Structure 1
Amino acid sequence: MLTFFALVHQEDDSAYGVQFPDVAGCFSAADDMEQVIRNASEALALHLEDGDLPAPRSLAEIKKDEDVAAELAHGAFLIAVPLISFTGRSKKANITMDAGLLQAIDDTASARDLTRSAYLASLARRDISG
């Protein structure tokens, strides 16, 4: 899985703004820190779904970038954002877990009007993207 670094900005009580130095034109925003990586990961996937995939720079290379360094000096910070590519295809997978845990998953999924697969996929996406 590729990871891209993103600059996060916030001024006063505004939302968090996110930009990707290695992906021109890709931006995101979030009202709170809990949503920053999730929203950024989604924006990154959508932005890159039909285009060429740029090579992400390392953290050391990003920090050497003059524009990034200037943003960091003014209070921005860097986060690592995973690129989760959605293919639009489903793939069956067998998993094994404790029967009680599986029942709790099924009960929770049912209460949320989701299938077991949809519920587990949403949890995985949320965990992977922070």
Structure 2
Amino acid sequence: MAKTYIGILDGVTGAFGVRIPDFPGCHGAGNSHGEAIADATRALREFATDMIASGEKLPEPSEIFAVMEAAIDEDGPNIVAIGIPLLLDQSRSVRANISLDAGLLEHIDDEAKRRGITRSAFIASAAREKIIAGH
């Protein structure tokens, strides 16, 4: 099952950060809210992958109220809690039958070829980016 962890977003215009309390030391940063969240999503993936590789068990996501209470105690009341998805590859592909507009599929194939990747890799990458952008 997909897991989403709570991140705490802070900063000022041009310098934003996201920390993920369930993973002490795991942070993301960026010039905008979106960049900081995307960076935190990548950082969480790398952090979790390293933990798994070293035999550590990943923590279960904390309840949002517990995370916010601790963050308010630490940072004051002006915090923003956001969901950070854990996007881990499972080292296996699953066949999925999807329907797309023929014109869109042509553009996908052209762009995938230009990048030197498969159609599936292109669609997976686009889906991953969309998931990150939505959090």
Query: With structure 1 as the length reference, what TM-score do the two structures score?
Result: 0.81
Judged with a 3 Å threshold, the aligned counterparts in structure 2 of structure 1 residues 32 and 61 are, in CA distance, closer, same or farther, namely: same
Preserved CA contact (<8 Å) 1:41 1:129: yes
**Aligned equivalents of 2:129 and 2:90: distance in 1?**
17
* Runs of 5+ consecutive residues of structure 2 not aligned to the other structure: none
Asked if residue 71 in structure 1 is aligned to residue 75 in structure 2, the reply is yes
Determine the structure 2 residue equivalent to 1:25. Answer: 25
Determine the structure 2 residue equivalent to 1:82. Answer: 85
The CA deviation at 1:39 is: 1.3
CA RMSD in angstroms comes to 2.0
The one of 102, 105, 111 equivalent to 1:102 is 105
Determine the structure 2 residue equivalent to 1:44. Answer: 44
**Aligned equivalents of 2:122 and 2:76: distance in 1?**
37
The CA deviation at 1:64 is: 2.3
**Aligned equivalents of 1:30 and 1:90: distance in 2?**
32
* Runs of 5+ consecutive residues of structure 1 not aligned to the other structure: none
Judged with a 3 Å threshold, the aligned counterparts in structure 2 of structure 1 residues 102 and 72 are, in CA distance, closer, same or farther, namely: farther
**Aligned equivalents of 1:33 and 1:48: distance in 2?**
22
Judged with a 3 Å threshold, the aligned counterparts in structure 2 of structure 1 residues 97 and 76 are, in CA distance, closer, same or farther, namely: same
**Aligned equivalents of 1:52 and 1:8: distance in 2?**
25
Asked if residue 60 in structure 1 is aligned to residue 65 in structure 2, the reply is yes
The CA deviation at 1:3 is: 0.7
- Of stretches 3-12 and 104-113 in structure 1, the one that deviates more from structure 2 is 104-113
**Aligned equivalents of 2:66 and 2:18: distance in 1?**
19
Which structure would you say has the larger RCO, counting Cα contacts within 8 Å and 6 or more residues apart? Answer: 1
Query: With structure 2 as the length reference, what TM-score do the two structures score?
Result: 0.79
